[in-house]
Copies of this chain bind each other. A is one copy, B any other.
Amino acid sequence: MAKAVDKQAELKLLYDMLSIRRFEEKAQQQYQMQKIGGFLHLYIGQEAVAVGSVAGCEHRDYIITAYRDHGHALARGMGMNEAMAEIFGKSTGCSKGLGGSMHYFDKKNNMMGGHAIIGQHLPLATGFAFAARYRGEDRVVLAYMGDGAINIGSFHEALNLAGLYRLPVIFICENNQFSMGTAVSRSNPLKEIVNRGAGYDMKSLVMDGMDVRAVRETIADISTKIRTNPEPYWVECRTYRYRGHSMSDPGNYRTKEELEKHKKDDPITNFSATLIKEGLLTDEEYKKMDAEIKALAAESVKFAEASPEPDVSTLHDYTSVVTDPNYQPLPTTPEIKTQNPFHC
């Protein structure tokens, strides 16, 4: 029985990673056919990070990331249809076609957005954790960023605040070795990215971002701990991006050999092989799963194409909200005064 449950969970890891891969391959193709505008940053190669970490936490936990956000959104349960429609700029998109590839939001799944200005989402992450603590909820926050994001001011302010107020945020640096064309050794003076946590006396560790199980276990571990004993963690997650930074990047800053070497670590290939070896999956089943997922991806393009453009008459509808006239304030009660969740 335990075995059966495990099997489903393990297969879901694979399914989710494969979904991201196939979805993005489709998106890439659509971009090349010029059906998509703006920027498109693919997550291909890094799927184990989003999938493993989301599997390692609870649905009520908030997640937030930068602009390379398709993987996190899909891992969190967003459907391919709304994801694809978003990059088509259609009103059926996850952000109604107003956000685009860099701004996937999914409130029902506690996916708090893709965010396009480097580092500026990290203070928001501390705010979610703050709110959870404020309300006495045992939610934690997963805040993802690239290796290029750790050098900007708001990164620092967020980590410092999280440490000071002991906020339950897992800061996950997806170290894919490059910030655009800049190798990670050329953007900071650190021997290892994990060292950055020491500047905040923050618990820090490295995880293998190509191993979905390792990621899941690490995050499960940390989130269990900080759910009851809130404090932030700094996690360097070593991974690799197989595509260019965005669709316009030919990737001249790395050799073909380097890329091929990293492709040997492919989180999907390796994990499916493991599952097969463990007898949890057959070759046949894998092919069937892949076909199913590819069909969904193809379907999402049709859905996006068939979806309506946002109505031009709605142009002014998303700049301000009408204040909710039915809002119910929560009067102050005496016991709150004595609470001190932020240790100030």
Contact = CB atoms under 8 A, between A and B. Distances in A.
Interface residues of A, number: 26
What is the count of identical protomers in the complex? 2
A186 B195 CA distance: 23
B189 A160 contact: yes
Contact of A160 (B163, B188, B191): B188
Interface in A153-194: 153-157, 160, 163-164, 166, 186-191
Nearest to A160: B151
A322 to B, nearest CB: 35
A200 B190 CA distance: 6
Contact of A152 (B151, B152, B157, B166): B157
Nearest to A190: B201
A186 B344 contact: yes
A197 interface: yes
A199 interface: yes
A289 interface: no
Contact of A153 (B156, B164, B166, B189): B156
Contact of A195 (B154, B189, B199): B199
Interface of A: 151-157, 160, 163-164, 166, 186-191, 195-202, 344
16 contacts: A153-B154, A153-B155, A153-B156, A155-B156, A156-B157, A163-B189, A164-B187, A164-B188, A186-B344, A189-B200, A189-B201, A190-B201, A195-B199, A195-B201, A197-B199, A199-B199
